[in-house]
Amino acid sequence: MEKRRLGRTDLFVSKICLGTMTFGEQNTEAEGHAQLDLALERGVNFIDTAELYPIPPKAETQGRTERFIGNWMKARGARDKVVLATKVVGRTANVWFRGGRPSKLVRADIMDAIDKSLEKLQTDYVDLYQIHFPDRLVPWGSSPTRIGAWPAKRAEDETPIAETLAVFDELVKAGKIRHLGLSNESSWGVMKFVAEADKGTGPRVVSLQNAYNLVNRTFEVNLAEVCDREDVSLLPYSPLAQGYLTGKYDDGGLPDGSRKQLFNRLQRYETPSAAEAHKAYNQLARDFGMEPALFANAFVTHQPFVTSNIIGATSIAQLEMALDSADVKWTDEMQKAVDAIHQARGNPCP
């Protein structure tokens, strides 16, 4: 599988990354290991996880995904075969991450997070350590189509980005992480991290993990230029819009065992007019003779500003289809057809 440079680093990652947020909730440890085995066999060398996983976040399951991955790497002797990425939570009122208190992006909390992640992952270092979401009070995903009330509310105890970045500098120097990445971040946030790093505060951001798919192309509005000019790699998540771009929810469908049926946490993709947009793209895929899931993943994988598409699956069959998207020939005709729907439908699910 094609490998692409991660930011300005010397790391090259496969154009598909295996996301693991289902490991420990929808997938057993054995199922997770089978997915990891298949991905590695197919040329994937990039694995993404988080201290928060599995999804949905719960005190009783938090950290289980990292443990599953750590056990797999130890059993297979695979640590040197993969680029390993995990995440630290941003500001959250959930108290189970830090032993009974809320968490912020301050030194004590970041140090606690990385040490726990390294223990669970059974490794001395993480290749890419990402901030899962900002310390600032911003809309989820940080790239909305409208901001709502302005000026945006600010927390009185907001942690300055320079303070957070200085902690990551310690982690790099200690050899616990190699590189820093962001997630669910805005154009301003990315540039602020870059500016602070350029002043010598800490490591330079190498990647951004934001949602990007057929019904959410907000990355293209401002972030695309920021990431291009600053050599920040896009690692898009949710290429299937939490399953809506597979067609299984079209016309009110609710399959047993689906994420919506199990957890009903898909509101980001249930906005007004979203259902019509999902159905239009799913039909377009079939018009090109492809399964909607294959088409939607291929769209993301083959966009010129994407470094690695973070896929997710709960079955081997789903994983095989996602991996197959790397081999799809994405044509100008496909892109023009997608852009025509986008022009009419916009970004219904930012």
User: Which residues are catalytic, by number?
Assistant: 53
237: tokens are 């998540």
The values of phi and psi at residue 155, to 5°, are -70, 140
The values of phi and psi at residue 153, to 5°, are -65, 140
Q: Distance between CA 45 and CA 84 in Å, rounded?
A: 8
313: tokens are 């699956």
Find the length of the chain: 350
What's the gap between Cα 200 and its chain centre?
Answer: 27
Angle at 345 between CA 278 and CA 209, to 5 degrees: 70
Q: 63-88: string of b/e by CB count within 10 Å (b at 16+)?
A: bbbbbbbbbbbeeeebbeebbbbbbb
Closest CA to 134 of 201, 184, 180, 93: 184
182: helix, coil or strand?
Answer: strand
Cα-trace Rg, the chain? 19
319: tokens are 């994983």
Residue 66: what residue type? E
The DSSP annotation for 299-348 comes to HHHTSTTBS-EEE--SSHHHHHHHHHGGG----HHHHHHHHHHHHHH--S
